[in-house]
Homo-oligomer: A and B are copies of this chain.
């Protein structure tokens, strides 16, 4: 019975790591679809979000089963409750990847972002990939040593987000209001994606340390 119990907790942790891979891959492909105005790729990202939703629902079911059958307490209970919140954050990160893909689809066959901000979005895509992959490593290992790294990625993402505001508001912006709004919303999706990764990491830290979790407002968004 106890053996089953720890296997169940491991399965939940594996599911969460799998979710980080799914949403990491979704954001990666969404970024590509945005860069290349690749409609088929965008559609595939949008369709794949149902898998993220399903795995997230499975995690909730498994957490519920563990609670009902095993009555976990102390650290184990914190792990289960943490898993519920973490899966909700990861589910939301999947939505944000989907939003990026929808924006790519909406502007197809045009590219949704002007050439001069391509490199910034490529960088944001790279940071999104790095942050979610490290988040997966934190969940898998419970080694919170990567938290500082993840915070740094998030700061870098915030900086790029602010940079894009400067670009679209500069007098040299030649692409009009619609494109400025596209860039702002897209930028916000990446920035929120990173915020959720930070929030997941903070959640793992509180599981490890036993501190109560209180949401903090992250930087201006």
Contacts and interface: CB of A to CB of B under 8 A. Distances in A.
Contact of A73 (B68, B98, B214, B220): B68
Contact of A180 (B57, B72, B73, B177): B177
A77 interface: yes
Q: Which of A49, A169, A180 has the most CB of B within 10 A?
A: A180
B49 A217 contact: yes
A188 interface: yes
Interface in A56-89: 56-57, 60-61, 63-64, 67-68, 71-74, 77-78, 81, 84-85, 88
Contacts of A202: none
Nearest to A61: B212
Nearest to A106: B220
A95 B85 CA distance: 17
Interface in A188-203: 188
Interface in A97-137: 98-99, 102
A173 interface: yes
A58 to B, nearest CB: 9
A159 to B, nearest CB: 18
A185 interface: yes
A6 interface: no
A214 B68 contact: no
A177 B168 contact: yes
A36 interface: no
22 contacts: A53-B214, A53-B215, A53-B217, A57-B212, A57-B213, A63-B81, A64-B77, A67-B67, A67-B77, A68-B77, A84-B84, A84-B85, A85-B88, A91-B215, A95-B217, A98-B217, A102-B220, A165-B181, A169-B177, A169-B178, A169-B181, A177-B180
Given A57-B212, A169-B181, 12 more contacts: A49-B217, A54-B214, A57-B213, A57-B215, A63-B81, A64-B77, A85-B88, A98-B217, A102-B220, A165-B181, A169-B178, A177-B177
